[in-house]
Amino acid sequence: MNLIESRNAPQNVNHIYDGDRFEDLEIENSEDVLRGIDNILENYKIIIVNPPRREKKLLVVDVDYTLTCHDGTPRDFVDEMFTSVYEHYDIVLWTASTRDFLESRIKIMKLQENVNFKIAFCLEGEAMVPVFSWKFDDYIYVKALDLIWKKFPRYSVKNTIIFDDNWRNYALNKTCGLSTARYREVSCSTVRSELLRVAEYLKIISRLINLDIFDHNHWTSNHLNISRRGIKFFERAIKTEDETTMSALSPVPQIVLHLLSAIDLPDLPYQRREGHTSQKISKTLTFVEKDKTKNEIEKVDLVSPEVYSAEMTKNLARHEIKLLNPWRDGKKLLVLDLGYTLCDPEFPSFPSVKARRPHLSQLLTRAYRYYDIVIWSDMSVEDSSEALGKMGIINDDNYRIALHLTVREMIVVKTVQYGSGILKPLEFIWRKFPWFSSRNTVIIDDNRWYFAMNYQSGCEVKPYKVRNENLDVELEFLASYLEWIAFFEDFENLNHENWRCPKKVFIDKKKRIVQKRFRVEIEWPLNKLRFVNVPADVTVGELKYFIHETIGIELEQQVLLFNVPPGYIYEGGGLSKRDAVVFDSCRWEEILEKSRAGLKVVGKDRSLPIKTKNRQSL
């Protein structure tokens, strides 16, 4: 019987593979995936045939359609590939089928009988993890390399390659994947000899400190880049993240980065110089330093966030909120202070209509069209209710007050910057009515301390005194501002501190003030970018945007590499000097044995004979 017709054959190959390569499966890599890996580690036993070797990288190889045809016919040059890479990699076989199927394929390929390489261990379909794909609206099974990394912590994304004909099998670890053409009996000679080219590529990249600097799905292009520049160019290279700043990569204001691209780079005009024919673009680029004094939202640090959270929970359970008028659908939330914001509580006849702030009725009427209104006073319940009634705020046909809060709903907090104090946390409202948040809430108060926990939503106004009645137009301007921002979907992009000057309200995190200019040179075919006088806070993402604007290469197709200088290591998002090399304690016996045998230990992998006089001294 044909093996493919048996139950041991892969059952999900046709479902997984549809000819499209490297598409986005929209996989939800959530805590469920991590739990799935942990469950497999608990219930699945990895049988180690040959123990992993020290300082070797890891090569995970698929079997079905990668090493064999559907009927079990071995692919050409399987033995040659494994023999070639075994010097640098521990080899693991991982099939999407059962262990019986895998053992039959190993027997057909005679892998166990070969003395030139050894298989460390094998995995089958039971070790694959189900993940949910939004593209298929269903679960698919993938080979999660985290399963091996958790079992053997010496392996990671920096030293692992998974070789598979079905790229979806390594969808959770795209940076480690190396794809190959599916093997069939009628495959052309190029496909048949592909394993030799893959072996050559694997041997070359084995010298890299970090294998993740390349997208190995495009291994042929990578091989061409390496052959042009030489492997030494990439040996100490790391892949920079978009958030990485120049100060993290270089202590001086100049840096050299190297561009990799998944597409063929365009032909660029070059400047002819004597003895120099490489393509080059020189351009004056303007970068600016971030203005940290304007439009920056102040944040308050709590001494004990746990105490604040517990107190908030108690406050919510302690007080029952009664709505004066129901909430309206699609309206934003406006929280207004009472004393010194809407009235003057020190006026002799307070509470009365004469204590009201000018343009108060206009503010509430205009705001009611777009906002549900909450009055949050720092007075007692009795005093606050009496003031709202006698000043005619609570009963007006032009608007409705949805909710009335007082000092009893306020909370005492202890902050690092300002010590202890009582304030109005908007979380009290947001937890009760979760459709409100910082995206659609504004709190107006004359005392900015009261909204210290929600500076993003706070809008400070000048305190009102009746003696300034004829000059006070604060609420009139505020009404216009509230009408204007009501059309914005998200208030988190606004800084209400500058509400009197609408041009300064918008928060632009990338906004900068021009301070420095520098020359940028992009050289081809080396793709070298040299930046001089770079501000310390310029990020790699901003440099990528410049490349996109200048050359036209899309941002997602760019990889910028940085060569770590000798004597340094890149850890924790920055450069640090490497400590002196210290031998591992487990190697002392090996060192002593070589010393007694007349060998001098040099590094970790090579030994040199010692002269006779030095040997006697030992």
Looking at 84-98, 270-284, 525-539, which range is the least confident one?
270-284
At residue 37, the pLDDT reads 80
Model pLDDT, residue 476: 92
Mean pLDDT of 485-494: 88
For residue 446, the model assigns a pLDDT of 92
Q: What is the DSSP letter of 539?
A: B
Residue-level pLDDT at 257: 79
Contacts of residue 247, Cβ cutoff 8 Å, sequence gap at least 6: 536, 537
Are 207 and 321 found together in one domain?
no
Burial of 585 (0-12, 13-18, 19+ CB in 10 A): exposed
pLDDT at 375 (0 to 100): 95
Using the 3D structure, point to which of 226, 242, 260 is the last residue of a domain: 226
Kindly tell me if the per-residue pLDDT of 500 is higher than 60. Answer: yes
Q: Is the pLDDT of residue 328 over 60?
A: yes
Q: Is the pLDDT of residue 522 over 70?
A: no
Identify the pLDDT of residue 267: 54
- Looking at the fold, whether 44 and 145 belong to one and the same domain comes out as yes
Give the per-residue pLDDT at 166: 83
For residue 487, CA distances in Å to 331, 363, 460, 510 come to 11, 17, 21, 23
Mean pLDDT of 384-390: 91
Residue 291 is predicted with a pLDDT of 45
Q: Where are the beta strands (DSSP E) in 473-598?
A: 512-524, 528-532, 558-563, 568-571, 574-577
Does an H or E element contain 93, and which?
A: strand 89-94
Highest mean pLDDT among 158-162, 241-245, 518-522, 582-586: 158-162
If asked whether residues 353 and 218 sit together in one domain, one would say no
Work out the average pLDDT over 55-79. 87
Per-residue pLDDT, averaged over 63-67, amounts to 87
- What local confidence, expressed as pLDDT, does residue 373 receive? 96
Whether residues 405 and 324 share a domain: the answer is yes
In a domain, 62, yes or no: yes
pLDDT of residue 553: 77
How much is the pLDDT for 253?
A: 59
Local confidence band at 31 (pLDDT 50, 70, 90 cut-offs)? low
Percent of the chain with pLDDT over 90: 25
The verdict on 321 and 387 lying in the same domain is: yes
Residue 17: pLDDT over 70: no
> pLDDT tens digits for 602-618?
444 433 343 333 333 32
Do residues 574 and 443 share a domain? no
- Report whether pLDDT(186) > 90: no
pLDDT tens sequence across 100-144: 888 888 888 888 878 899 999 999 888 888 877 776 667 788 888
- Are both 451 and 572 inside the same structural domain? no
**pLDDT the model gives residue 532:** 67
CATH number assigned to the domain comprising residue 149: 3.40.50.1000
What tokens does 52 get? 């992993």
Question: What pLDDT band is residue 503 in, cutting at 50, 70 and 90?
Answer: confident
Residue 358: pLDDT band with limits 50, 70, 90: very high
Going by pLDDT thresholds of 50, 70 and 90, the confidence category of residue 19 is: very low
Residue 605 has a pLDDT of: 42
SS3 230: coil
- Average pLDDT over the chain, rounded to an integer: 77
Least confident of 251-265, 340-354, 515-529: 515-529
Specify if 358 maps to a domain: yes
Rounded Cα gap, residues 314 and 311, in angstroms: 5
Single residue among 457, 487, 517 that ends a domain in this structure: 487
In a shared domain, residues 476 and 544: no
Pick 442 or 245 by higher pLDDT: 442
Note the pLDDT of residue 28. 58
Top-ranked range on mean pLDDT: pick from 193-202, 246-255, 293-302, 436-445 = 436-445
Query: Would 147 be classed as within a structural domain?
Result: yes
Q: Using CA of residue 338, residue 343, residue 345, residue 350, what is the dihedral sign?
A: negative
Predicted confidence (pLDDT) per residue in 262-317, tens digit: 555 555 544 444 444 455 666 666 655 444 444 445 667 777 788 888 888 888 88
Q: Looking at residue 600, what is its pLDDT? A: 47
**Across 446-471, average pLDDT:** 89
Both tokens of 163, joined, read 């070789």
Kindly state the average pLDDT of the residues 227-254.
Answer: 77
Q: Which of 11-25, 228-242, 513-527 has the lowest mean pLDDT?
A: 11-25
To the nearest 10°, the Cα dihedral for 324, 325, 330, 333?
A: -30
Does residue 402 sit in the same domain as residue 545? no
pLDDT confidence of residue 60: 94
Does residue 339 sit in the same domain as residue 454? yes
The pLDDT of residue 304 is 78
CB 92 within 8 A of CB 58: yes
Q: How many Å apart are CA 269 and CA 267, to the nearest integer?
A: 7
pLDDT of res. 286: 60
Please say which residue of 158, 193, 226 terminates a domain. 226
Which pLDDT score, from 0 to 100, does residue 162 have?
Answer: 93
Are 384 and 343 spatial neighbours (Cβ–Cβ below 8 Å)? no
Residues 463 and 548 in one domain: no
pLDDT higher at 406 or 189: 406
Confidence (pLDDT) at 591: 47
Residue 516 has pLDDT above 90, yes or no: no
* Residue 226, number of CB atoms within 10 A of its CB: 19
- Tally the domains of the chain: 3
Q: Domain check: are 187 and 310 in the same one?
A: no
How much is the pLDDT for 308?
A: 84
> Residue 509 falls within a domain, yes or no?
no
pLDDT-derived band at 518, boundaries 50, 70, 90: low
- Domain membership flag for residue 41: yes
Q: Is the pLDDT at 525 greater than 90, yes or no? A: no
pLDDT of amino acid 527: 65
- Note the pLDDT of residue 263: 58
3-class SS of residue 372: strand
Query: How many beta carbons lie within 10 A of that of residue 1, not counting itself?
Result: 5
Q: Measure the CA–CA gap between 510 and 156, rounded to whole angstroms.
A: 34
Residue 104 placed within a domain: yes
Q: Determine, yes or no, domain membership for 93.
A: yes
Q: Is residue 505 part of a domain?
A: no
68-77, 237-246, 475-484, 534-543 — which one is most confidently predicted on average?
A: 475-484
Range of the domain at 391: 305-487
